[in-house]
Chain A
Amino acid sequence: MSILTLGGAAPFRSYVVIGIARPRDRRGETISDASWRNTLIRLAELGFSPGRTVVKTGSAGPGCPVIVLAGGSRTAISPGLCDLILVRPVGNAGGAAEPGT
């Protein structure tokens, strides 16, 4: 099963979300627990839960948010966060069925 990050995923292909990695400290700075909790909840609310299918429609540009179709709507996500979201292509072994199929 090939696991990659949403940031590295090809546009206009369906991927199944399998998890998210916590950001590592950068120059001694950390994202607060409360903020990270809220970010994860918001991601889950918008359809970025394990087993859910998402489609990246492409990055808006270097350093710009990535637009992703998930849970029936378009969501803009920071590129840094996209690099933490773990996905695998739909159809790989162990894959969950796509919603709506």
Chain B
Amino acid sequence: MLVALIGQPNSGKSALLARLTGARVVTSNYPGTTVEVLRGTIRDRAGDITVLDTPGTYSLAASSKEQEVARDVIVTVRPALIVNVVDATNLARHLALTLELLTYRIPMVLALNSCDLLHSRGISVDTGALSGVLGVPVFLTSALTGEGVEELKGAIVGARRGRQAGAATGGEQASEQVPGPACREVSGSGGSLRDGAPGRPTGWKGYWPRDAVDLRPYQEEAERIAQRVVSRAGGTVTGDRMRRRAPRARGPWARAPGAGPLGERIERLLDVPALSIPVLILVLVVAWKTITKAIPLAEAAVRVALGPVSEGLTGFLRAFLPPGRISEVLAEAVPEGIVLPLATVLPAIIVAYTFIALLEDSGLLGRYAALGDALTGLLRLPGQALIPFVLAFGCRVPAILSARILPSDRSRWMTSIIVGTVIPCTATVSLGLAVLARFGGSPVAAGAAIAVSIAVIARLLGSASGVVRDPLVLELPPLRFPIVRNVLLKTGMRLTGFFDHVLPLVVAMNVVLRLLVSADGLPGPGNGFSHVSGLAARVIEGGLGIPPAAFGAVLLTMFQRYLAPLFLLQLQLTGRQATIAVTMVALGLPCLPSSVALWREMGPGTVVLSFLISAAISTGWGVILNLVLP
């Protein structure tokens, strides 16, 4: 049986999936965290139940790529049961989607999520009345605390077993099984709507596209229902959030400032660029300083801590392998391949991943995406593009996927290319810094080259696409103190994912490099690569100012970009050469996983274009730095 979690962005679907199935999924506090369908499984004696977590969607009109994914689950996959996840603190807004879902005649249960916030704000929802109005079972749940999740799971299992889901699990409606909702004819001032029939709203001035949908009937009906079922001391609570956040407004907005005055005040202050931009700069400076300070400190500590392990492993390999060149290489390369990423990469990515997780979970990432709209405007992109840009510092593959939140194919195309070509991940940055530190190179020159490249590429792509940029329309997530469990879980998941791939690759790469060195096969002064490259070597050395071996590192970026600095660490470079080589690596070819993601999202043409752009930019900066650097 297939169950789909459907709901508006930021309603807690992924967190609920984790609670229901134990699946390890990333949860964040900004609209668009989930951009593809995730799966979890509820184990049951009668057989497993697959639960799909879909990207958040405001309506089934699907105004972006990730919302199309959610709509396709409803229209094409047609799950056996929909669990409509609704933010209980903003019922009037979220019920509009519920009403739209009801028209599809798929059995449904309603999960009123974030009920812990309802309690703390003294708001109550009449779930019985709501269930009666909608004709579906209603459960109060909290993905954060786990409240009501077992009851919801019972309803899902009961639906599959064909038993009385509501009665057996404490739901509000008893029936033979979770009922197929009555197809509702929703009427409002904009006319009637069923199954997303198009229509221009009555009274609308100006332009309205032919195929756009009038959602007003759903929204008005949702507000009427919310007015009936939500209450608290002091009266009915419709548009509760809105009133809390506009206490100076006239009319109903002026009522009930509500809970969390400190949070509200901070939110309003951070809406002002004069304060929020310095806060962002402070966050970035702290992150950068922490990374640059943490690497040498952690490197020393990890080397001391892992010294005995490394020596033990070396001794073990020497003892058990037959003597010879290969055993000597393995005895040195394997321990080094394990220690190097732990000492150099681990501290940097822990810091970077933690900062990214903090930005995501606090709601600051969404806020800065909005505030950054003026900045991304220079790149002809809407502010939402900042979200993939920031995520790319963690890893570029999820960043390319997250470009689905952008409103048009043009913006997605531009953002994907920029992410795939010129934004280096933290692993590459940390290893690149290690190379620069070892050979006395210049991080400032490399950083400036990357920044200029982003601006130039975006500008060129923007001009080539020939249309004005998409306007920003972005729901701001509520600001909150980051949940430590979320941040740790997310950082841990990303670290695990990274090291699952990195450690074996780095060890293998280290062994190969050592073998090449021992066989005199590594390019460079005094060994055998020079005979391969007569003219090419002279062109590389003359045009780029680096040894041919370092150029080999740039080509290596197409497999994994962070492997290239490892290659550079094996060479003897001057500070100048190191700066040029690290810059070229940082702007090197899209790595294999990024290329696959680009192919999947944007097609083979974009992959080819990205390779051409990367080759041009990387080589171009090599030539420029060779001319400019003393």
Contacts and interface: CB of A to CB of B under 8 A. Distances in A.
Does B bind A? yes
Interface of A: 3, 12-14, 18-23, 26, 29-47, 49-52, 55, 57-58, 60-61, 63-65, 67, 69-78, 80-81, 84, 86, 90, 96, 98-101
Interface string B248-274: 111111000000000000001001111
A81 B417 CA distance: 26
A41 B472 contact: no
B59 interface: yes
A46 B473 contact: yes
A21 B271 CA distance: 27
A34 B604 CA distance: 22
B190 A49 contact: yes
Given A14-B253, A33-B209, A35-B407, A75 B93 contact: no
B466 A29 contact: yes
B207 A21 contact: yes
B408 A21 contact: no
B218 to A, nearest CB: 10
A67 to B, nearest CB: 5
Contact of B242 (A3, A18, A72): A72
Contacts of B467: 29-32, 35
A45 B471 contact: no
A26 B568 CA distance: 49
Contact of B219 (A32, A52, A73, A96): A52
A22 B185 CA distance: 31
Interface stretch (B106-114, B233-241, B306-314, B554-562): B233-241
B410 A35 contact: yes
Given A43-B473, A64-B371, A69-B245, A35 B240 contact: no
A14 B205 contact: no
B227 interface: yes
Contact of B474 (A40, A55, A76, A99): A76
A74 B209 contact: no
B251 A38 contact: no
Nearest to B188: A51
Contacts of A57: 245-246, 268, 271
A100 B239 contact: yes
Nearest to B382: A78
A76 B387 CA distance: 15
B204 A72 contact: no
A49 B252 contact: no
A37 B211 CA distance: 8
13 contacts: A35-B410, A37-B63, A41-B59, A47-B219, A50-B204, A51-B203, A61-B274, A64-B373, A65-B383, A69-B253, A73-B93, A76-B476, A99-B92
B383 A42 contact: no
B407 A39 contact: yes
A13 B254 CA distance: 10
B209 A81 contact: no
Contacts of B630: none
B189 interface: yes
B272 A61 contact: yes
Nearest to B255: A100
Contacts of B534: none
Nearest to A26: B468
A44 B214 CA distance: 7
Of A13, A44, A55, A77, most B-chain CB atoms within 10 Å: A44
Contacts of B216: 44, 49-52
Contact of A64 (B220, B374, B382): B374
B24 to A, nearest CB: 29
Nearest to A63: B374
A41 B61 CA distance: 7
B612 interface: no
B241 A50 contact: no
Contacts of B271: 57-58, 60, 67
| 10 tightest A-B CB contacts, nearest first | A19-B205, A45-B58, A76-B370, A35-B408, A100-B238, A22-B207, A81-B471, A41-B63, A72-B93, A19-B206
Nearest to A76: B370
Contact of B240 (A14, A29, A67, A72): A72
A65 B209 CA distance: 24
B512 interface: no
Contacts of B220: 99
A77 B236 CA distance: 29
Contacts of A20: 205-208
A63 B377 contact: yes
A98 B252 contact: yes
A62 to B, nearest CB: 8
A47 B201 CA distance: 13
Contacts of B151: none
Contact of B475 (A33, A49, A75): A75
Nearest to B267: A74
Contacts of B470: 31, 35, 38-39
B273 A61 contact: yes
B206 A22 contact: yes
A45 B8 CA distance: 10
Contacts of B58: 42, 45-46
Contacts of B243: 100
Contacts of A37: 63, 209, 211-212
B409 interface: yes
Interface string B559-593: 00000000000000000000000000000000000
A42 B474 CA distance: 9
Contacts of A3: 205
A80 B470 CA distance: 10
B518 interface: no
A8 to B, nearest CB: 15
A14 B250 contact: yes
B249 A12 contact: yes
Given A46-B475, A81-B471, A18 B209 contact: no
A58 B476 CA distance: 14
